[in-house]
């Protein structure tokens, strides 16, 4: 199964200045729990914003730079090549950024969405979803607290 895992604001912002524009400890824990032991497909900028391979997962980086070779990662030149190296994994996660989300969206069967209940400025956006194509199968709402700066919801969407 091919899934997207993403956190986005009410106005679809997913990043600003190659960083997440919020602090949500619960979202980071959810990402870890869902993706552990699986392949994470991401673009080079997303990888560089993290700064290291995420442990316990196969980090697959898409870049056109043929000399790019961060230690502990698989590097490929296309989404198709990333999907090829992840073949056999029971669930493969698309982890960002904006261009990789846009390209993979037609192929994805599930979206694990953290809806951050704020409107925020940013420079990277998640594509709009067509409601006719997605079914909400789970939603949990949470209030901001000392480790999560905004109210947020964990939403799971399956392709209809």
Q: How confident is the model at residue 97, as a pLDDT?
A: 92
pLDDT, one tens digit per residue, over 28-59 is 999 999 999 999 999 999 999 999 999 999 99
Q: CA-CA distance, 110 to 134, in Å (whole number)?
A: 9
Share of the chain above pLDDT 70, in %: 100
Three-class SS of residue 35?
helix
Q: How confident is the model at residue 11, as a pLDDT?
A: 97
pLDDT, one tens digit per residue, over 111-124 is 999 999 999 999 99
Note whether residue 114 is domain-resident.
yes
Note whether residue 159 is domain-resident.
no
Give the residue among 27, 58, 56 at the shortest CA–CA distance from 42. Answer: 58
Give the residue among 45, 44, 42 at the shortest CA–CA distance from 31. Answer: 42
Provide the number of structural domains found in the chain. 1
Note whether residue 11 is domain-resident.
no
- Residue 91: give its domain's CATH number: 3.40.430.10
The reported pTM is 0.95
Q: Where are the alpha helices (DSSP H) in the chain?
A: 25-35, 44-50, 79-85, 98-104
Residue 36's Cβ-count burial label (10 Å; 0-12, 13-18, 19+) is: exposed
Note whether residue 39 is domain-resident.
yes
Expressed as residue numbers, the domain containing 105 is: 17-127
Average pLDDT over residues 122-142: 96
Note whether residue 7 is domain-resident.
no
């Amino acid at each position: 199964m091919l899934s997207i895992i993403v956190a986005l604001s009410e106005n679809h912002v997913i990043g600003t200045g190659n960083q997440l524009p919020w602090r949500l400890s619960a979202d980071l824990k959810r990402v870890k729990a869902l993706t552990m032991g699986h392949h994470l497909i991401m673009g080079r900028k997303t990888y560089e914003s993290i700064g290291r391979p995420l442990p316990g997962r196969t980090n697959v980086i898409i870049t056109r730079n043929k000399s790019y070779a961060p230690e502990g990662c698989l590097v490929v030149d296309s989404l198709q090549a990333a999907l090829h190296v992840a073949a056999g994994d029971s669930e493969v996660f698309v982890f960002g950024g904006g261009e990789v989300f846009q390209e993979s969206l037609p192929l994805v069967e599930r979206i694990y969405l953290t809806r951050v209940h704020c409107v925020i400025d940013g420079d990277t956006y998640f594509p709009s979803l067509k409601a006719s194509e997605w079914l909400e199968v789970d939603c949990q709402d949470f209030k901001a607290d000392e480790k999560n700066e905004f109210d947020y919801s964990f939403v799971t969407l399956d392709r209809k």
